Amino acid sequence: MQTNEFIAYLEMSGKSPLTIKAYKHDLRLFTEFMRQKKVTDDTVTPAFIINFLGKSIGSSSKARQLACLKSYYKFMEKIYEVEKNPARLIDINFNKNRALPSFLSQDEVMLLINAPDTSSLEGLRNKMIFELLYSGGLRVSELINLKLTDIDFNEGQVKVLGKGNKERYIPMPERTLDLIQAYISRKSDGSNGGNGRLINLTVVRIFQLIKEYAQKIGLTKHISPHTIRHTFATHLLDNGADLRVVQELLGHANISTTQIYTHLTTERLKSAYNNAHPLSDYSPRLKAGALEN
């Protein structure tokens, strides 16, 4: 980082000594965080900055640190003509005292997904549950209400009934669809409890399963179904998806709800999902227009 040059620029710009002192401290913390996480200037992402901001205790500290990083990257754009500005994409109002969402790294979420032993029907079901939560960013209530008729294997998508009984269509990677198909095929009696649902578990049991497998793989952080939903959104944005796309996938009525993650420019829904989601292998099942229902 060009810290010394940036500080000199602030001094020439007439910034107050207190602001400069605070920014020096913030950049020192940020540089140390980069070193710890083995991140370079070229690999800093919006999600990484949000993760850094989450380390601060007070809302005022978070707001100042974000202002510092926005100012620094704007300086790099102006003086050094650097094209990448990860801080510009972040738009969070810390004055609302809203906690930053916690999320898993890609390695952590894959450890969780791969933890169940799929040689048993129960293990296969649990792996399918974790994949559905991560591949689709589903709320736990949406997951347990998912019906067999909501899954469109031909178009590679699932229909979800969200808050306010609003329907939305979410594309699914082929590997997740294959898990669903394998689970349905291996159910001993082919029954679904008479209610047409894919799984017959309570919200409490889903929470318990995630906790049990998290402990099994050695995750010390507290995670829940909503943590996986946060992870879904963060990984999409971290890989270049547009905020409006993520809003639609999450089923948020208001864009401000999604802005806790970041703010990016508009792209088409399916294109962004296929290019950004870590589990997507550009499945041929995700045909053009699959979400235009």
Topology (CATH) of 3-96: DNA polymerase; domain 1 (1.10.150)
The span from the CA of 53 to the CA of 96, in Å, is 15
pLDDT tens per residue, range 18-52: 889 899 999 999 999 999 999 998 899 888 898 88
What region does 26 belong to: left with phi over 0, alpha with psi -120 to 50, or beta?
alpha
The span from the CA of 129 to the CA of 150, in Å, is 15
* Distance separating the N- and C-terminal Cα atoms of the chain: 47
Amino acid present at 153:
F
Q: Which two tokens stand for residue 226?
A: 């909503």
The span from the CA of 242 to the CA of 252, in Å, is 14
pTM exceeds 0.85: no
Instruction: State how far the alpha carbon of 202 is from the alpha carbons of 75, 173, 197, 211, 249, in Å.
Output: 51, 25, 12, 14, 23
| Residue ranges, the chain, pLDDT below 70 | 57, 93-101, 188-194, 256, 259-273, 280-293
Topology (CATH) of 106-276: hpI Integrase; Chain A (1.10.443)
* The pLDDT value given to residue 171: 93
3-class SS of residue 94 = helix
Residues noted as catalytic: 139, 163, 226, 229, 252, 261
Residues of the chain with CATH 1.10.443.10: 106-276
Residues of the chain with CATH 1.10.150.130: 3-96
* The pLDDT value given to residue 110: 94
Q: What is the CA radius of gyration of the chain?
A: 21
Instruction: Check if the beta carbon of residue 171 is closer than 8 Å to that of residue 245.
Output: no
The span from the CA of 31 to the CA of 244, in Å, is 31
